Amino acid sequence: DTEVTQTPKHLVMGMTNKKSLKCEQHMGHRAMYWYKQKAKKPPELMFVYSYEKLSINESVPSRFSPECPNSSLLNLHLHALQPEDSALYLCASSQADTTSYEQYFGPGTRLTVT
């Protein structure tokens, strides 16, 4: 299995809602990532998990809360989002300890905050 899967594909939520995005991979990768991508823009890194521990937080607001319950799963918990948080949220995974590596991306969750 060489795919990263993400659920849901689309999500519409109000500013007071709490929701979660899920990401799963079964490639044995020990590094997992969350990116935010606005239309016609490159992906912006949000978080990196390495061996299930948070290794990079790119100064993301606390209304985004990542979680890595095991080596195959990555969640992004959302609470009290703003309309400007509407975007495509991408998950990726890679080997954690190689000198040259490839990040495998999921198809993304299209989030709309109303």
Partner 1 sequence: AQRVTQPEKLLSVFKGAPVELKCNYSYSGSPELFWYVQYSRQRLQLLLRHISRESIKGFTADLNKGETSFHLKKPFAQEEDSAMYYCALRATGGGNKLTFGTGTQLKVEL
- Interacting residues with partner 1 (CB under 8 A): 31, 33, 40-43, 45, 48, 50, 55-56, 90, 94, 96, 99-108
CB nearer partner 1, residue 43 or residue 76:
43
CB nearer partner 1, residue 45 or residue 80:
45
Least gap, CB of 48 to partner 1 (angstroms): 6
Alpha carbon distance 16, 19 (integer Å): 10
CB nearer partner 1, residue 18 or residue 38:
38
Contact 25, 31 (CB under 8 A): no
CB nearer partner 1, residue 102 or residue 114:
102
Least gap, CB of 26 to partner 1 (angstroms): 16
Tokens for 55?
A: 């290794």
> Which segments of the chain are extended strands (E)?
4-7, 10-13, 18-25, 31-37, 44-50, 53-57, 64-70, 73-79, 87-94, 104-105, 109-113
Least gap, CB of 35 to partner 1 (angstroms): 9
Radius of gyration of the chain (CA): 13
Least gap, CB of 55 to partner 1 (angstroms): 6
